[in-house]
Structure 1
């Protein structure tokens, strides 16, 4: 009985590893696509708690986007696979690379200054 459980556990772990590899590859393709569309990119990976991790991408042209991964490990592996510079924090220098337009400013301000509401 113990041998059967060990084989089942190994098969389950192998299946989970393949699933993680597919998720990493899918995220890396999205990251690469964003990077190519914006002349290169840099990234920051942030914990979202039990929900996983958020990958924030900032293109060389100032455009930004984000992706969500199921785990911090998956997010980190995807960014590494893409070969991007990874920042520990979304600090002032990194944040200054983001270009925001009229839409973002009106959404951030919301109804306080007459922009559209966030609902």
Structure 2
């Protein structure tokens, strides 16, 4: 019997779990550097994967790209990130933007 025949459909994919753990390590480090906790949202990016946007307790935000939605959710779960359904409302209000973001947004509006 091959290993493929003995695997069950519910058995976790070892490669996906390793990827989730690697991403979770980054998310955990981010949370530790920005107040000890973080909230976030997992969103499809398209063919390239999924984006995990996180907001630290201090309002600093960052993101990570995961190869799939399942890996992104698992990484956030492993990191202890509180997930939200979307980036609006409560989560959006936590974000603290700096001079770089304001300058970048103004540049986009002005065609730069």
TM-score, L = length of structure 1? 0.80
Does the residue aligned with 2:43 lie in a helix, a strand or coil?
strand
Match of 2:63 among 58, 63, 66: 66
How far has the Cα of 1:9 moved from its partner? 3.8
Distance 1:113 1:20 in 2: 42
Counterpart position of 1:24: 20
Structure 1 unaligned residues grouped into runs of 5+: none
| Partner deviation per Cα, 1:8-60 (whole Å, 9 max, x = no partner) | 645999xx922111101101100100000001111100011221110000011
Q: Could you say which structure has the greater relative contact order, defined with CA pairs below 8 angstroms and 6 or more residues apart? A: 2
Structure 2 unaligned residues grouped into runs of 5+: none
List structure 1 segments (4+ residues) > 6 angstroms apart after TM superposition.
none
1:37 partnered with 2:37: no
Report the RMSD for the aligned CA atoms in angstroms: 2.3
Distance 2:87 2:31 in 1: 18
How far has the Cα of 1:91 moved from its partner? 0.7
TM-score, L = length of structure 2? 0.85
| Partner deviation per Cα, 1:65-101 (whole Å, 9 max, x = no partner) | 0000000000000101112210000012211111111
The structure that has the greater radius of gyration is 1
Count residues with an aligned counterpart: 108
